[in-house]
C-alpha cells in the first residue's frame, strides 16, 4: 500500500522537519519512503511544504500531485492544496490558526488546536509535533514508537533537550484524535 502526504505551512513552523521525521519513521519500519522539500527564498515566514510517500513497494515517482493526506498549518497551504486532495482523503489542520474555511464535502477534515495545545505544554514550536501525533492516531500510517526512535536519531546534539517536549506534543496530538473518536 502506498500513502502520499503533503504538509504545508510557513517557514519556521517545522513543516520540513515533520515530513522528514515521518519519512524516517517509515524507513525504520522497513518501508520505502520519499521526502521532497520545497520552500520559499525567505525561509522563516515564507511558504514551506514537503511531500512524503510511504509505501510497502518500490516508489516509482517522488512527485505527489493528489495526496491521500494533507496537513495544513496555515490558510495559504489549505487554499493551495485542499483542491488537490484525493476524494475521501484526510485533511488535518491547525484549528488554532485556521478557521472559517469551507471544506470539501468529499474529504474527512480534522481540526486540531495544535498551536494552542503546544502553548499549553510549554512550547508553541511543537505544534507540528501535535499534528504529527494526530496523523498517527488518525491514519495508523506509522507507529508512535517508530516516530520516537526517528526523533531521537534525527535531532542534533544541540537540540536534544527538546526531545521530551516533542514526544509529549506527539502524544497530546494522538490523545486529541482518540478522544474525538469516543
pTM of the model: 0.93
Considering only residues 44 and 3, tell me which one the structure prediction assigns the higher pLDDT.
3
Q: What pLDDT shows up at residue 39?
A: 74
Could you report the per-residue pLDDT of 70-117, keeping only the tens digit for each? 999 999 999 999 999 999 999 999 999 998 667 889 999 999 999 999
How many Å apart are CA 33 and CA 4, to the nearest integer? 10
CA 123/CA 60 separation, integer angstroms:
38
Residue 18's pLDDT is what?
A: 97
Pick the residue with more confidence: 99 or 139?
139
Please give the pLDDT value at position 155: 86
Asked if pLDDT for residue 182 goes beyond 80, the answer is no
CB 72 within 8 A of CB 9: yes
- For the stretch 37-73, pLDDT in tens is 987 665 556 789 999 999 999 998 989 999 999 999 9
Domain ranges of the chain: 2-181
What Å distances lie between residue 30 and 6, 8, 27, 57, 122, CA to CA?
21, 26, 5, 10, 34
Q: Does domain 2-181 have CATH number 3.40.920.10?
A: yes
Q: What is the C-alpha separation between 135 and 149, in angstroms, rounded?
A: 17
Amino acid at each position: 500500500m502506498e500513502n502520499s502526504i503533503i504538509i504545508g505551512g510557513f517557514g519556521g513552523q517545522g513543516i520540513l522537519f515533520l515530513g522528514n521525521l515521518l519519512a524516517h519513521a517509515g524507513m525504520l519500519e522497513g518501508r520505502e519512503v520519499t521526502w521532497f522539500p520545497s520552500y520559499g527564498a525567505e525561509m522563516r515566514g515564507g511558504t514551506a511544504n514537503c511531500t512524503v510517500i510511504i509505501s510497502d513497494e518500490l516508489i516509482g515517482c517522488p512527485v505527489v500531485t493528489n495526496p491521500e493526506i494533507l496537513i495544513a498549518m496555515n490558510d495559504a497551504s489549505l487554499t493551495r492544496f485542499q483542491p488537490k486532495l484525493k476524494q475521501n482523503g484526510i485533511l488535518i489542520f491547525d484549528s488554532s490558526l485556521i478557521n472559517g474555511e469551507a471544506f470539501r464535502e468529499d474529504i474527512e477534515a480534522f481540526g486540531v488546536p495544535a498551536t494552542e495545545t503546544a502553548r499549553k505544554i510549554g512550547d508553541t514550536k511543537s505544534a507540528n509535533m501535535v499534528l504529527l501525533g494526530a496523523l498517527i492516531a488518525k491514519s495508523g500510517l506509522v507507529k508512535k514508537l517508530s516516530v520516537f526512535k526517528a526523533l531521537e536519531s534525527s535531532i542534533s546534539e544541540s537540540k536534544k533537550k527538546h526531545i521530551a517536549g516533542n514526544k509529549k506534543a506527539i502524544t497530546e496530538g494522538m490523545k486529541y484524535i482518540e478522544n474525538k473518536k469516543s
